[in-house]
Amino acid sequence: MTDEHDTDPTRRRMLKAAALLPLAAACNGLSWGADAPMTQASFALDMTRPGRRVDPSLASLSYETLELSDPTFFAADNHGLVRMFREMNPHGVLRIGGNTSDDTVWGGYKGKMPTYVPRRHGKLLQPHVLKPEGLQALAGFVRATGWKLVFGVNLRIGSPEMALDLAQTVQKLVGDQLLAIQIGNEANNYEPDYAAFDAVWTPYAKALRAAGLPIAGPDTGANTDWVIEYAKRHARENVFLSRHYYREAAENGSIPDMLAGDPGFFGEVEQIMQVADQYGLPFRISEGNSYYNGGRDGTSNVFASALWGADFMLALAQRGVAGMHFHGGTLLSVETSLGRMAKAPAGGDIVAQRDAQASRYSAIAGSSELGFQPRPLFHGIALAQRFAGARMLPGQLDTGGANLAAYAAQQGDAVLVALINKDAQRDAAVALSGLPHGAKGELMRLRAPALDSRRDVSFAADGHASVGADGTCCCITLPRGSAVWGQWSLPA
């Protein structure tokens, strides 16, 4: 209870300091002096109200259809890329689509080739041609990684017959690893409203369903109302619901903007999840990343993106989203999809050369010739993926005024916690409570020299943190611009 007559700010500060003394004690006497400012924060877990289960395919990826024009890229013997996929998630889902899916014709189609109409203001005068060898190589890659596949067919060109032929070929090659066919990519960019989209989408869907092919959608851009209307009309015919997400246009991007979060979007996610739950369907962000138009250099490809990615994925998982497909791939494929010429910087060591091959927001950089390496975002994805299969737990976070995020989940007999300090100025000491008495914790830290670091990013084991037999809370130090993942288990 607050004394409404207490107007003395000095007294209020003294009362707050007294209230925080137990936290300081729990944090093993950390210095709170002017020489070492440390934000005092707390995170209280509630293990009595388990929430959503985290889908094993949470960490997933999205690539342009144009990537298949090089059959050595998605190929079983492209061992470096296979390894990166498996390290990220052995149970992921690869989505092939993007802008180029609606600018591609199927080279194996024996019927009359439909007429290609260039996009308004577009520079592509002739469609890309997907050749059979690209699909054959993709099938081998999917088998080598163990990932499922979501494949997009061309809606904009208006040929259900060609789409059916392509989808059947994909199914024949991929088999049970085909999760779904999606019809069109961000049709909101070329159809005036949902009704117009539904009218052109329906003949495709009927042909695919009649052939026994699984479908999903609507794979729209930022149109939550389309997803909801689509679910009302077609939920029972679909494997999952989907839409895309980007924070903003790349030209408006910055590290502070990215790390500020996007609470309004999560309100939209909750609207979609209500409908998805009503119809018993998963919901996936089938394409997304920090900033559209290919990502922003110095923001989408630096360490800050790892903190953003981990936070974003866990916020989605907490609300029941099944998968987050981070869009990426080569600089050539993404820039071409945007109607631009790819201009990669030349020179540098092998790390710089690999980095130059990738689109600015891609989680994986490199090429078949140079090999592959993780971008900073990859490590944030890996942190969040450690929650796979767990059931999210509610908790009360007191940030102490810092830009912090915290998540918890129960995975069998273990409790998982992620603490993310997105603040550029303030270190934090976070007191955890609600963990099982006597639990032994193992920590991993996600860190880099600075928020704008492109190199020297690590996500690695970093000591232990235990809970007292009497339930005494443990304290985790969280330097500015870093994150911690912890797992607490009861002693055997």
Stretch (H or E) spanning 197: helix 194-210
Tell me what pLDDT residue 492 has: 65
Q: How far is CA 327 from CA 17, 98, 244, in A?
A: 46, 9, 10
Tell me how far apart the alpha carbons of residues 174 and 383 are, in angstroms, rounded to a whole number: 29
Strands (E), 226-298: 238-249, 283-292
89 backbone dihedrals φ, ψ, rounded to 5°: -170, 115
Least confident of 343-357, 374-388, 399-413: 343-357
Place of tokens 């190929």: 75
Range with the lowest mean pLDDT among 18-22, 189-193, 380-384? 18-22
Q: Look up residue 251 and give its DSSP letter.
A: G
Please report which confidence band the pLDDT of residue 25 belongs to, taking 50, 70 and 90 as the band edges.
very low
Q: In which element (H, E) is residue 396 found?
A: strand 395-398
Question: What's the CA dihedral at 86, 90, 96, 97 to 10 degrees?
Answer: -110
Strand 93-97 relative to strand 59-64, pairing: parallel
pLDDT of residue 36: 47
Categorize the per-residue pLDDT at 387 as very low, low, confident or very high, splitting at 50, 70 and 90. very high
What's the mean pLDDT in 122-150? 95
- Per the model's pLDDT, the better-predicted residue between 477 and 35 turns out to be 477
- CATH number at 59-385: 3.20.20.80
Q: Is the CB of residue 144 less than 8 Å from the CB of residue 81?
A: no
User: 134: Cβ–Cβ under 8 A, 6 or more apart, which residues?
Assistant: 68, 69, 70, 71, 74
Tokens of 461: 């084991």
How far apart, in whole angstroms, are the C-alpha atoms of residue 430 and residue 27?
Answer: 8
Query: What are the boundaries of each domain within the chain?
Result: 15-51+390-489, 59-385
CB 433 within 8 A of CB 475: no
Is the CB of residue 326 less than 8 Å from the CB of residue 260?
no
Say whether 59-385 and 15-51+390-489 share the same fold: no
Per-residue pLDDT tens over the stretch 437-484 = 889 999 999 999 999 999 999 999 999 888 887 777 789 999 999 999
CATH number of the domain located at residue range(s) 15-51+390-489 in this protein? 2.60.40.1180
Q: pTM for the complete prediction?
A: 0.92
Among 27-36, 137-146, 218-227, 264-273, which stretch is predicted with the lowest mean pLDDT? 27-36
Dihedral angle of Cα 324, 305, 427, 470, to the nearest 10 degrees = 20
**What's the pLDDT band for 321 if we cut at 50, 70, 90?**
very high
What's the burial of 435, exposed, middle or buried (CB within 10 Å: 0-12/13-18/19+)? buried
Q: Which residues pair with 374 in a beta bridge?
A: 364
Cβ neighbors of 57 (< 8 A, separation 6 or more) are 89, 91, 92, 93, 148, 322, 323
pLDDT at 7 over 60: no
What is the spatial distance between Cα 253 and Cα 290, in angstroms, rounded to a whole number?
A: 8
Residue type, 457: V
- Residue 341 token pair: 């010429």
Q: Is-contact 307 446, C-beta < 8 A?
A: yes
Handedness of CA 449, 452, 453, 458 (dihedral sign): positive
Question: Taking all residues of the chain, what is their mean pLDDT, rounded to a whole number?
Answer: 92
